[in-house]
């Protein structure tokens, strides 16, 4: 699950490049030994897997569309900023990755931001290395953009991805503006991208700030919100009424089921639409290249949020 933040990490404070905090745990603990030899460039094996294995599944399950590729800047780095949906966002990330690989292969680098914790846990380390994703830190962003590699960012993180299903088409970055700070520092354009349909592939009924503390492990990795999904509820009901065991064991099993990430996976085959909008130049977002205040960054983030929202609407 993406990091929860106004910055690329979870801290709302300004941090020096390459540092930050995930809850009470420094992301440097997870990201300090990360080595991405070719940020944004997937391996040949990854491209083959995305094209030959994942793309047919995505097309069958979600009948995806990808519009607005022509709006992407032809040269130079930029931030591709999108809304985040679907509990673990598996459906939308898989769909976009497969469509991008099918369109560009290895010819057009794009480094996706990912939670730093995933770069310290196998098999995620293996996956990130082959996909060319980078940890969501200021240092990694500066390195990628400085090398001319654009970055895909989902600012809403676990706040947006766990919103209830009736807010499926609502874009809500949760007041986070770390991506705007990155764009200002690097003075690069921001390209809005709207994704519609993916949130209902894993319907969320309730978003909780308490459950991550009760479950412990989500807070250890920096997750501040945990969703109760429709799949979690249906599975718990089945366990409570169908499993031949004592009531205490059934209650425990139902609780453990509610806590597993399996309940966050997509299971409804709904159509996913992805639309890329026109780039927003940095001088249209920021008054100057001088150090921006938090208020100025927040205003810029709101402009981008509105642009993404316009792309999500049917």
More confident position, 230 or 219: 230
What's the whole-number average pLDDT of the chain? 88
What is the per-residue pLDDT for 286?
Answer: 96
> Distance (Å, rounded) from C-alpha 36 to C-alpha 143?
10
Beta strands in the chain (DSSP E): 21-22, 25-26, 65-67, 79-82, 111-114, 134-135, 151-153, 190-196, 204-208, 226-229, 273-276
How many other C-beta atoms can be found within 10 angstroms of the C-beta atom of residue 30?
A: 21
If pLDDT is split at 50, 70 and 90, which confidence band does 3 have?
A: very low
- Given the candidates 3.30.70, 2.60.40, 3.40.1130, 1.10.150, the CATH classification of the domain at 21-202+268-312 is 3.40.1130
For residue 159, pLDDT over 50 is answered with yes
**Concatenated DSSP letters of 39-102:** TT---HHHHHHIIIIIHHHHHHHH--EEE-GGGS-SSS--EEEE---STTTHHHHHHHHHHHHH
Residues 211-224 have pLDDT tens digits of 888 887 787 777 78
Would you state the structure tokens that stand for residue 58, as one six-digit string?
A: 């995505």
pTM score above 0.85: yes
Query: Could you state, in order of their start, the residue ranges of all structural domains in the chain?
Result: 21-202+268-312, 203-264
For residue 314, pLDDT over 90 is answered with no
Residues 238-264 have pLDDT tens digits of 999 999 999 999 999 999 998 899 999
Q: For residue 150, give Cα distances in angstroms to 74, 110, 112, 135.
A: 11, 5, 9, 14
């Amino acid at each position: 699950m993406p990091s929860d933040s106004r910055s690329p990490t979870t801290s709302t404070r300004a941090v020096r490049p390459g540092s930050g905090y995930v809850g009470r745990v420094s992301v440097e603990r997870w990201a300090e030994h990360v080595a991405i030899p070719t940020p944004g460039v997937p391996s040949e094996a990854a491209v083959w897997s995305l094209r030959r294995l994942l793309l047919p599944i995505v097309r069958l399950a979600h009948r995806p569309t990808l519009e607005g590729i022509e709006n992407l800047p032809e040269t130079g780095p930029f931030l591709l900023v999108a809304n985040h949906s679907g509990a673990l966002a598996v459906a939308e990330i898989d769909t976009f990755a497969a469509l991008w690989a099918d369109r560009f292969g290895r010819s057009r680098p794009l480094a996706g931001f990912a939670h730093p914790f995933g770069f310290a846990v196998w098999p995620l380390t293996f996956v990130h290395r082959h996909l060319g994703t980078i940890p969501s830190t200021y240092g990694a962003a500066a390195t990628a953009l400085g090398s001319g590699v654009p970055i895909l960012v989902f600012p809403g993180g676990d706040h947006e991805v766990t919103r209830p299903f009736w807010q499926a088409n609502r874009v809500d970055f949760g007041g986070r503006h770390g991506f705007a700070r990155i764009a200002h520092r690097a003075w690069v354009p921001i390209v809005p991208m709207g994704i519609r349909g993916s949130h209902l592939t894993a319907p969320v009924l309730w978003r909780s700030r308490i459950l991550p503390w009760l479950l412990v492990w989500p807070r250890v990795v920096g997750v501040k919100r945990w969703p109760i999904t429709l799949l979690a509820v249906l599975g718990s009901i089945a366990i409570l009424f169908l499993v031949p065991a004592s009531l205490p064991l059934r209650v425990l099993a139902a609780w453990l089921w509610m806590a597993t990430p399996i309940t966050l996976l997509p299971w409804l085959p709904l159509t996913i639409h992805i639309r890329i909008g026109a780039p927003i130049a940095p001088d249209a977002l920021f008054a100057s290249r001088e150090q921006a205040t938090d208020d100025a960054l927040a205003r810029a983030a709101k402009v981008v949020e509105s642009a993404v929202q316009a792309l999500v609407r049917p």
